[in-house]
Amino acid sequence: APAAAPAGQDRKAGSGRIGEAGGRGLVDINPPRGTRDFFPEDKRVQNWLFGEWAAVSEAFGFEQVDFPVLESEELYVRKAGEEITDQLYNFEDKGGRRVALRPELTPSLARLVLQKGKGLALPAKWFSIGQCWRYERATRGRRREHYQWNMDIVGVAGVEAESELLAAIVTFFQRLGLGPSDVGLKVSSRKVLQAVLARYGIPEASFGPVCVIVDKMEKIPREKVVEELAKLGVAADAIEGILQALAIKTVEELEALLGADNHAVADLRQLFSLAAAYGYADWLVFDASVVRGLAYYTGVVFEGFDRAGTLRAICGGGRYDKLLGTFGGEDQPCTGFGFGDAVIVELLKDKKLLPQLQHTVDDLVMPQDESLRTEATAIAQRLRAAGRRVDLVLEPKRLKWAFKQAERCNAARLVLVAPDEWAKGTVRVKNLASREEADVPLDQLV
Ligand SMILES: Nc1ccc(Br)nc1
């Protein structure tokens, strides 16, 4: 059967309550608002996606790490007006601790780097896949959880690190059958804004909040962005300077504005040169308006987008060289990205690139009658020990049902344990593709 809504099953309309007549029962069978259930057909797609994420990570020599979905709230208190911290799924636990369902994975990764301290061999190349949460107001009706793939490199200050991460993302897209005409990667650097703010004498402390506001440029009216920047204390001429810089279309124009010795210009030139060496230059687009919405980015930032422009950002990331310091630790050059499980699946559906994944077993084993139940169980175990996936029929069923079940689980063989054959040391095996059948001696079953 074709995959259902492949990004999981969203909450259905209505109360979803069952129980006594009239549907006003005791239990709501829907998942909580903004969350998804994964039925087998959904979970097959999710597992496939996670498998592709892990395969790319391992192809790039990254090691997997993991951390709790529940973290101390203090990891996310950043006071820069980010949406991600405004929508924290936070609460006080029964021990009076302020905790939160993580809205992202990077602060957890930072914790692990700090735990290791000088014991961490650098560069560390880690990846993780985990569910992240946000408390969207119900009115927005948006999802409150998604799974994210993160890849991070700790200990490399140069854009060679970002080039590897971008190469991993391109490799992932290519594995799924997506090309540079389907998707692209917008690239810029926050050092552009940093240089502009310095020109206008805007304090360093405003850098994060300014980036968070400017990131909203495509989502809220320009006037609102101007108003929020002004509220932050940014003077009118500086606001104009910021907006002009963000409208720049080429690295050459950027160099004209900031000078050839500007770090952003140098980083971007090197990044595009490395992209050519990797062979993915035609996937990249310089876009000065890309700043991303997380306060802690300090350098190169990037985001994946669909060329048709119908979807939200597919993924995003950047350099965050000062995050560890904000946790009281010693700073390390870090860069990484987050890649969600929802937009990419919508894109693959649109492009008809979603794999059709079915439930499949090698053998359906059934005793012809209950007197051979233990024998059938032994056969099933023997086949499993040989590495075969076996669906063992657990209660008396007619042959017609067995054929139907074999179809449902796409079994390659139907193995019937029947009295006459068993007496001769054989079982009846039907190959469901060729329709051939034979009495097979037990020692020839695998
Ligand atoms: N950070 C975050 C968490 C959950 C979802 Br859905 N989207 C973004």
Contacts of 302 (CB under 8 A, 6+ apart): 162, 166, 185, 186, 187, 188, 290, 316, 317, 318, 337
Pocket flag, ligand 1, residue 134 (CB < 6 Å)? yes
Helix, strand and coil in the chain, % to nearest 5: 40, 20, 40
- Establish whether residue 125 lines the binding site of ligand 1, counting it when its CB lies within 6 angstroms of any ligand atom: no
User: What pLDDT was estimated at residue 3?
Assistant: 41
Contacts of 395 (CB under 8 A, 6+ apart): none
The pLDDT score that the predictor gives to residue 226 is 96
β-sheet bridge partners, residue 426: 441
Give the Cα separation of 63 and 159 in Å (integer).
Answer: 20
Residue among 186, 102, 82, 87 at smallest CA distance from 148: 102
Q: What pLDDT does residue 4 have?
A: 41
Residue 104 near ligand 1, beta carbon < 6 Å: yes
Atom nearest to 143 CA in ligand 1: 6
Residues of the chain with pLDDT under 70: 1-7, 13-24
Q: How far is the CA of 103 from the centre of ligand 1 (A)?
A: 6
pLDDT at site 17: 66
To test the pocket of ligand 1, the residue of 133, 294, 314, 341 to mutate (highest count of ligand atoms within 8 Å of its CB) is 133
Is the predicted ipTM greater than 0.95, yes or no? yes
Testing ligand 1's pocket by substitution, the residue of 84, 90, 129, 344 carrying the most ligand atoms inside 8 A of its CB is 84
Inter-CA distances, 278 with 168, 176, 272, 323, Å? 11, 19, 10, 29
What pLDDT score does 141 carry?
78
- pLDDT tens per residue across span 23-43: 567 789 999 999 999 999 999
Please tell me the predicted confidence (pLDDT) of residue 121: 98
> According to the model, what pLDDT value does residue 123 have?
98
pLDDT, residue 240, reads 96
Q: Is the N-terminal amide bond of 209 cis, ω within 30° of 0?
A: no
Probe residue for ligand 1, chosen from 82, 86, 87, 106 as the CB with the greatest number of ligand atoms within 8 Å: 87
For residue 334, give the DSSP letter. Answer: E
Q: Which residues of 225-251 are buried (b: 16+ CB within 10 A; e: fewer)?
A: bbebbeeeebeeebbebbbebbebeeb
Calpha distance 165→318 (Å, rounded): 9
Q: CB of 52 within 8 A of CB of 339?
A: no
pLDDT score at 19: 54
